[in-house]
Amino acid sequence: MRWCKDKQKGFFFQTFQGKSTRFILYCSHLFVPLPTTKVKRIMKSIIRILFAAFMLLVLPLNMSAQRNPWVIIGDFSDGMAYVKNQRTELYGYVNQNKKLVIPCKWSRAGDFHDGLAYVQDKNGKWGHINKQGNLINPCKWAEAGSFFGGLASVKDPKTLLYGFIDKKGKLVIPCKWAYVGDFRNGPANAKESGADHWVTIDKTGNIVE
């Protein structure tokens, strides 16, 4: 009686001849008969090597993941980067030393600009926090953008139109625009509903060209 595995894959197989048993190791089309004791020694050596590799490579990575279950998602901006907790799927922030300084408790997060970052709460609404993690502008908007030049775009959850708020959360440009840019390089671009062209507005909301 004989039992074996695929020779092409170079696995071990056994041949049974009466009461005696021997192992043969195939390597492609070549094979070398090996005594049972030698096969056992080889298998033990392979197991030791695999175990050592696990201890040196896999285990440290797993322990690191347990210590820091978050991964850096965003780029560093204003000395901060947002991270995602792989267990809870929530977001927080680390400083340039990669120390978690704002706990992972936000559903979504964005980069820091002008000292503030936009975040989304568990209800799907957006607001802004400072570098201490304090909520400066309440999460009440359908969307919120980054601060540039002291203003950030926000989207009204009822009208779904855009306007701009200052760092105190005051709406300084009414939500009447279908699309807006930001004040990164001076005046911002904006477009009204149904309009076929964009206009440029200043920080008071007036069209400048």
Residues near 185 by Cβ (< 8 Å), separated by ≥ 6? none
Query: Of the given ranges (23-37, 126-140, 168-182), which has the lowest mean pLDDT?
Result: 23-37
Cβ atoms within 10 Å, residue 97: 7
With H, G, I as helix, E, B as strand and everything else as coil, classify residue 133.
coil
Report the pLDDT averaged over residues 141-162. 97
β-pair partners for 116? 113
What are the helix and strand counts (H, E) for the chain? 2, 19
What percent of the chain is predicted at pLDDT more than 70?
Answer: 74
The model's pTM: 0.67
Residues 6+ apart with CB under 8 A from 9: none
pLDDT per residue as tens digits for the range 175-207: 999 999 999 999 999 999 888 899 999 999 999
Spatial separation of the C-alpha atoms in residues 200 and 209, rounded to whole Å: 6
Mean pLDDT score, 37-61 = 71
Q: Where are the domains of the chain?
A: 35-67, 69-147, 148-209
Question: Which one is the CATH code of 69-147: 3.30.420, 3.30.519, 2.40.10, 3.40.1130?
Answer: 2.40.10
pLDDT at 24 over 80: no
